[in-house]
Amino acid sequence: MADETPPDDDESNLLGDQEFRSTFGEDLAEALNLQTWNPGVDPTAIMTRFQREVSTSVQKEDRMRQVIRTELLPRLAGRKRAPPESGVFRAYGKELATIHEGLLFPGNVVAVLGTSVSHESLPLGITQIGVAAVGYQGSAGTFSQRLFRKDLTAKDTNPLREAIDYIANRHNSKTVSHREILSRLAHRGIRTYAERAVLVDKVTAEWRIGQGNPFAHELLTGSGHLSLLKSSLDVLERLVRDQQKFVFVSNAQMERGLLTLGLALDAGEYIIFETLERQSEQLLHSWRATDPRLPLAQKFVQTYGKDVLLGVFRVSGRTAPRLFYAHREHVHLAARVAMADSVLRLEKSYPLLLDVAELTCRSVFGEDGFEGLVQDAYAQAGAHLQYLLERESRR
């Protein structure tokens, strides 16, 4: 298995009480003491506390923003081991308008995004993965895959022995763990791979937009599966070596240090910070030397990690900055493509095409339609509701 992020109860991932106090401003024992909890709901008291905490945090961020803008941003280009492209740059309104007219609206930019939904019951697990590719001239295609996971037990000619093995297999904690791993593989690993594979092999537009880090964790690790790793590295190699005209934009709170620098930017500015080589090498550093995936991943990172740059842009002073990833040969135009698409929905400041691709996925491969088909199949099989549990609401 891959060296995954340790679970919350792993001792290597535990923090002491002092860390809790420094983060939350109170002792853990005090937070656990029900005498300190408020009975019922008092909207006035809750809102007062919220306003005080938010105001204090925002004021601190504003002070830090000014220091970062005047003292740190001018130094980014001269950092030790920084790529020659690093620094702070500005995209002007006329440049973005040119991209609207010459690339985006004629359909020369296509965004790709995927979704996954699943059904779990005692006899069967079904995962549906859908990927949509869209541009402003319409859909460039939708693609889907469905995986059916069945509990595996050793075949036995003795019906009683087989029934006992069937129950034991489902009760075994190792089997449960493997089932969860395979579920994560289907949901994230295969979906993330499919997004990039569609972007490389099914899209013909000059520019392509994806979501997240192109060298996603689940792809560089193969999610613990050598076959996924090999397929992922092949697609990513062709993306970086042959395609080059791509930009990936993150919608998550990753790289929080870089996002803090991004908050110091004015509208229309962007930072080119570093290559993905260092970040990817850190991921591989903890792998066992005997892991058969390690030499493959290392070779890929050493060959192509330096060709992809990480940065952050901001299109409005009233919205959050966004991380972006692009090939170093086209990084400045890539930043402008992402920013030009983001200003079309200024209140979110995120590429509109990615939102359109997400809506397309939901309409074609959404949970409601999927669940309807599943329930109909159970009814046709005469099972009706006996295997359909209420949806879990707690997270």
Residues 296-332: pLDDT tens digits?
Answer: 989 999 999 999 999 999 999 999 999 999 999 999 9
In this structure, what token pair is assigned to residue 369? Answer: 């339609």
d(CA 148, CA 82): 47
The proportion of the chain whose per-residue pLDDT surpasses 70, expressed as a percent, equals 86
For residues 69 and 71, what is the distance between their CA atoms, to the nearest angstrom? 6
More confident: 223 or 235: 235
Token pair for residue 46? 């809750």
The tokens of 298 are what? 């290392």
In DSSP notation, 122-162 reads SS-EEEEEEEEEEETTEEEEEEEEEEEE-------S-HHHH
- Give pLDDT, residue 172: 65
Query: Helix H segments across the chain?
Result: 17-24, 28-32, 43-67, 93-99, 159-171, 173-184, 191-201, 217-220, 226-238, 256-263, 276-285, 294-304, 331-342, 352-365, 367-380
Q: Which pLDDT score, from 0 to 100, does residue 126 have?
A: 82
Output the pTM of the full model: 0.83
Instruction: Report pLDDT digits (tens) over 47-73.
Output: 888 888 889 888 888 888 899 999 999
pLDDT higher than 70, residue 395: no
The pLDDT > 90 percentage for the chain reads 44
Q: Which residue has the higher pLDDT, 71 or 183?
A: 71
